[in-house]
Chains A and B, each alone.
Chain A
Amino acid sequence: MKYYALFFFLCTGFGKIAMAQDSSLLNMLEDSMMVNKQGGHVTGTFKATHIINTHSVETPAKGVLLFMIMHRFGKINEGAYEFFGLDNATMRMGFDYGLTDELTVGIGRSTFQKTYDGYLKGKLLRQSEGPGGRIPLSVTALAGIAYTSLRYTDKPYLNARYRTNYTLQLLVARKLNRNLSIQLSPAYLHYNLVPTVADKNDVFVLGIGGRMKITKRSSINVEYNYLPDNQVNSFKVYNSFSAGFDIETGGHVFQVHVTNSQGMVEPLFLGRTTGSWGKGDIYFGFNISRAFNLAKKR
């Protein structure tokens, strides 16, 4: 009987494996797939490299050159004579290049204060796929420099050092579900020159932003950058708030929005936003980006 028991055990044990193979080859494959499954990264947390003004956690892939035009018209409250701001415009033209899938170098030129900017942007962490993912967040770091080249005839002493400002920003995002993504963006800014001694050279800003997809290819985006008090005192500054709409068509992303910030580089919109939503200092604008594949083969 002992042998019989052993034998029976063997047969039924093996028999079960055999049946699994019998009933469906597919089940066997699926089991094998489960065993060998490797966790992937979440993709498409945001459609573009910017939420609106603030950088998003996204960077272009390796070998991709991203050409971006950011455009802001004048203030809506300028009235009918200025065609509600549409007669005036500032723009920033920029190029981002993906050195690797994680690291991007970018340059840009804004008409606003004739500002040049450059930055490095690197993905530090990427959110894992699936509900039980190991990494819950995507984290990207941004290090930028901005140089204002506008000449002031009354301030001939403004040399290169005085004209340069720095940005360090951490972009921390989570794609909560296929439609909703949220990003926290704490930033540290350093202004080499500030208007008066009452103003701080080092300024901290906490940004929050997000996107909500409304169709597969469009989303509503919002961002708010909170500038704590007692950092900029010699003139009235406001927190930058922007809201807009993204439309994606193949290699292009169109972003249309309204914002109270005229500048499109961190030192200009995070710490120097003088427009007030309450007074109607609202700029209508858009960003257009186009991806070009320079690398032949991935």
Chain B
Amino acid sequence: MDSGRSEAGLETGCRLQDKLQVAGCRVSIPDEGRESTNQSANQPIMKKSVLLIACCGLIISAASAQVYITRTGVINFFSKTPMEDIKAENNQVYAAIDLSKKTIAFSMLMKSFLFRKELMQEHFNENYVESDRHPKSTFKGTFTGDVDPQKPGVYNVQAQGVLTLHGVEKSVNTPATIEITGDGLTGTARFNLLPQDFDIEIPGIVRDKIAKQIDVQVKIDCKPVK
């Protein structure tokens, strides 16, 4: 929590994890954005200095927010069969982790998965994930386990949430790691997906070439939101 560094003890009692609620408390604006006038705000003696302090508080607490984000996360998937190995990589994955709320989100374009063979990539988009209809895949979830953003190191956590792929939502629960580094964090996870869970049909003629379980590997290097 960043309370200690921003506006000291004044805000105790407020929910502190969010930078803007710090300012919100100062003028007692209800934090869910209800725009009712209230007493302290109506007091005519609003000093310039108070405003200044509040603004400083805003800036300081914003700097120490615990949201980490990347636009260049990497997700690989592998399908291994005796007939053929298929491998694809997407290195334009958008990902965000909020350490204070313990929430995670991913979003990626299916067309950004690059295959070694152009034809495979075309078939992946045209015939399997139908990226014209379902251009994105997303994940929205939470993690359990303690991560101390001040203490560099590798933390093992359990991530769970809803994965949306090919327009189908499915819950996913997987072990993951969060590594706090000097200037950000690195998240990794590895899990298996079954194409049929996402209504991705595989025709008989290529059934031997596509694995029943697709091995998915995630690696995101995130920087704190400034």
- Give A residues with C-beta under 8 Å from B: 1, 3-4, 6-8, 10-12, 14-19, 21-22, 24-26, 28-30, 32-33, 36, 40, 43-44, 60-62, 64, 101, 178, 216-217, 248-251, 291, 293, 297-298
B125 touches A249 (CB 8 A): no
B67 touches A25 (CB 8 A): yes
A14 touches B20 (CB 8 A): yes
Q: From known contacts A29-B107, A250-B123, A293-B117, infer whether A7 and B54 are also in contact, taking CB-CB under 8 Å.
A: yes
B49 to chain A, nearest CB (A): 10
A249 touches B206 (CB 8 A): yes
A25 touches B46 (CB 8 A): no
B80 to chain A, nearest CB (A): 17
B102 to chain A, nearest CB (A): 11
- Tell me if B188 counts as interface (CB < 8 A to partner A): no
Which B residues lie within 8 Å of A251 (CB)? 119
Type the 1/0 row for B86-122, where 1 means its CB is closer than 8 Å to any CB of A.
0000000011111000011111010100111111001
- Tell me if B216 counts as interface (CB < 8 A to partner A): no
A4 nearest in chain B by CB position: B46
B185 to chain A, nearest CB (A): 14
Q: From known contacts A21-B67, A43-B126, infer whether A28 and B46 are also in contact, taking CB-CB under 8 Å.
A: no
Which B residues lie within 8 Å of A10 (CB)? 23, 55, 58
The 7 A-B pairs of least Cβ separation, nearest first, read: A61-B118, A25-B105, A18-B20, A26-B105, A25-B96, A29-B94, A29-B107
Bound Cα distance from A43 to B105, whole angstroms:
29
B29 nearest in chain A by CB position: A11
Which A residues lie within 8 Å of B206 (CB)? 249-250
Not counting A3-B48, A11-B29, A22-B18, a sample of 4 additional A-B residue pairs whose C-beta atoms are within 8 angstroms of each other reads A4-B46, A25-B103, A44-B126, A291-B119
- Tell me if B21 counts as interface (CB < 8 A to partner A): yes
B118 touches A298 (CB 8 A): yes
B15 to chain A, nearest CB (A): 10
- Tell me if B183 counts as interface (CB < 8 A to partner A): no
Q: From known contacts A3-B51, A18-B19, A24-B140, infer whether A44 and B122 are also in contact, taking CB-CB under 8 Å.
A: yes
B200 to chain A, nearest CB (A): 11
B116 touches A293 (CB 8 A): yes
19 A-B contacts (beta carbon < 8 Å): A3-B46, A3-B47, A4-B42, A6-B51, A7-B51, A10-B55, A11-B29, A14-B20, A14-B23, A14-B58, A15-B33, A26-B140, A29-B69, A29-B96, A43-B122, A216-B126, A248-B123, A291-B117, A297-B116
Bound Cα distance from A28 to B67, whole angstroms:
11
Bound Cα distance from A21 to B206, whole angstroms:
43
B67 to chain A, nearest CB (A): 7
- Tell me if B212 counts as interface (CB < 8 A to partner A): no
Q: Kindly name the residue among A1, A21, A178 whose own CB sees the greatest number of chain B CB atoms within 10 A.
A: A21
B161 to chain A, nearest CB (A): 10
- Tell me if B13 counts as interface (CB < 8 A to partner A): no
Bound Cα distance from A26 to B161, whole angstroms:
12
A217 nearest in chain B by CB position: B127
B203 touches A217 (CB 8 A): yes
Q: Of A15, A28, A40, which is within 8 A of B96 by CB?
A: A28
Q: Of B71, B109, B117, B136, which is within 8 A of A32 by CB?
A: B71
A250 touches B205 (CB 8 A): yes
A15 to chain B, nearest CB (A): 5
Bound Cα distance from A219 to B155, whole angstroms:
52
Bound Cα distance from A43 to B58, whole angstroms:
48
Which A residues lie within 8 Å of B116 (CB)? 293, 297-298
Which A residues lie within 8 Å of B111 (CB)? 40
A173 to chain B, nearest CB (A): 16
Bound Cα distance from A297 to B132, whole angstroms:
26
Which B residues lie within 8 Å of A40 (CB)? 111
Which B residues lie within 8 Å of A17 (CB)? 20
A8 touches B29 (CB 8 A): yes
A17 nearest in chain B by CB position: B20
Bound Cα distance from A64 to B119, whole angstroms:
9
Type the 1/0 row for B1-40, where 1 means its CB is closer than 8 Å to any CB of A.
0000000000000000011110110010101010100000
Which B residues lie within 8 Å of A293 (CB)? 116-117
A138 to chain B, nearest CB (A): 14
A26 nearest in chain B by CB position: B105
B141 to chain A, nearest CB (A): 10
Q: From known contacts A6-B51, A25-B104, A33-B107, infer whether A11 and B123 are also in contact, taking CB-CB under 8 Å.
A: no
Q: Of B29, B44, B51, B133, which is within 8 A of A1 by CB?
A: B44
